[in-house]
Amino acid sequence: MDPFEKRSIYWVMAILVLVIAPFIVLMTPAVLSVVVFEDPNKIAFISFGKNLIMYLLAFFIAFISLLILYFVKKLMTKLFVLILSILGFLIIYITGLNHYVYLDENYIEYNPLFGSEVIYQWSDLSSVRHIHPDGEKVEYESYIFTFTDGYSFNFKATGAVDSTVKSKIYEKLQLYKVPFEIY
């Protein structure tokens, strides 16, 4: 195999990344929900839209690094670019994986994009706001959970938050007598 044929494999791999990446990006939240967070006590696993951006960014790094590897001729430089791109891909992809809300029958787990994971009991909730704008698109519907220590986070009520999940949230709020407001 001549050097040009060896180098052209980078173009083929770059095109494969472009073709396969959208499917992996769109399937990752569903696979994560089913494989990692499948539990009999699971109410919902909510992935954020920012996660998809992080996954796309990781695959963009892979694509660009393959293009760079095509033009680089020195072995040491190729190894350096390869190691940096693999580390960059893994760090960004895993950061995207770690941004979620998990509602369980016993607890609420929130892992922000940048920051540390927090786990609260349902009894730790001090108030919940359900923002459901009239006449607006469903994509603007969201929940804001506020806890007794003042910590709060919000998430959109689309995708994984269907009517069953909403009713389970409402049941938990009634059980623990948590103030619930609808806006």
Domains observed in the chain: 3-97 (no CATH), 105-182 (2.30.29.30)
pTM of the model: 0.84
Of residues 109 and 133, more confidently modeled: 109
- Average pLDDT over the chain, rounded to an integer: 90
Tokens, residue 56: 């796309």
pLDDT of residue 136: 59
| % of residues, the chain, pLDDT over 90 | 67
The string of pLDDT tens digits covering residues 42-90 is 999 999 889 999 999 999 999 999 999 999 989 999 999 999 999 999 9
What are the structure tokens assigned to 10, written together?
């980078």
The mean pLDDT of 153-177, rounded to a whole number, is 90
Residue whose C-alpha is closest to residue 75's, from 131, 6, 141: 6
* pLDDT surpassing 80 at residue 30: yes
183 pLDDT higher than 90 = no
Q: Is 54 exposed, middle or buried (CB count within 10 Å of its CB: 0-12, 13-18, 19+)?
A: buried
Q: Which of 79, 35, 82 is nearest to 62 (CA)?
A: 82
